[in-house]
Structure 1
Amino acid sequence: MTENTELEQAHSDETAARTEDRDLPTGGDDRGNDPSSRVVELEADIERTREDLAQTVDRLAEKLDVKTRARNRMIQTRDEAAWRWRTLRNRATDAQGNPDPVTIGAGGGVLAALVAVLVVALWRRNQTSRRSRRRR
């Protein structure tokens, strides 16, 4: 769920709960005839509304605090990268921490491929420069 959807869902849940909790006096109810109980109910409803509004403002303030959100995202990314590094290292080594033979073979293959690409690139560069010298 996205943050907007979570906020909307939380707000609608709180509003529904507040509406369900409310006991509005009806004409036939004895509480409806007592003005002091109506005042108490209204004051309680106002207080709940203020609390809801304060929570909503706090959530919006958190969303608008870009610096803190960026910092939290950076920390989360750093922790995830460290976890992935540990997982990769554990897969590439045996119980004593020595490199696994498969890892050594794969590393050697990658190194050989890089050297081959480097040699071909240098050779082609050298051939291109020799051709341009011959044409002069």
Structure 2
Amino acid sequence: MTHSNDASRGTDHGRAADLQAEIDHTRDELAETVDQLAAKLDVKSRVRDQVHQTTSAAARHVRSVRDGATDEHGRPTPAATSVAAGVAAAAVAAVLVGAWLRRRQ
């Protein structure tokens, strides 16, 4: 009779160990889910990450534009010089037209 009692204790112990393992696994999954939800709700951190990504993208874009506007020695290319001259001419024209319109009134 004690022999069958020992066998049932072993089975109960095995079930308890299985249940404990399942509880531990569920607890780990729940902790991971809570961490993911907390990360979604951490607006400050998400904004900081977005600012970092945007800043990095802008820096890459600036490097790309600068590389396209300068030669291998860092001097402006003829195309970049033409664009800069066009922008300057447009600015001067805008100032002159504005002054002319103000004088007419």
Normalised by the size of structure 2, how large is the TM-score?
A: 0.83
Equivalent of 1:47 in 12, 24, 49: 24
Unmatched tracts of structure 1, length 5 or more: 1-33, 129-136
In structure 1, distance between residues paired with 2:38 and 2:104: 63
Shift of 1:38: 2.0
Equivalences, count: 95
Unmatched tracts of structure 2, length 5 or more: 1-10
In structure 1, distance between residues paired with 2:102 and 2:25: 76
- 2:8 aligned residue: none
Shift of 1:37: 2.2
In structure 1, distance between residues paired with 2:102 and 2:40: 54
Cα deviation code 1:99-130 (max 9, x no counterpart): 000110111011111211221111111101xx
- 1:118 aligned residue: 95
Equivalent of 1:80 in 36, 41, 57: 57
Instruction: Answer with 95-104 or 36-45: which moved more.
Output: 36-45
- 2:5 aligned residue: none
- 1:67 aligned residue: 44
Q: How does 1:74-113 map to 2 (within 5 A)?
A: 74-113=51-90
In structure 1, distance between residues paired with 2:89 and 2:63: 26
In structure 2, distance between residues paired with 1:43 and 1:122: 84
Aligned partner of 1:46: which letter?
Answer: I
Normalised by the size of structure 1, how large is the TM-score?
A: 0.65
Cα deviation code 1:4-58 (max 9, x no counterpart): xxxxxxxxxxxxxxxxxxxxxxxxxxxxxx3332222211111010000001111
The structure where helix makes up a greater share of residues is 2
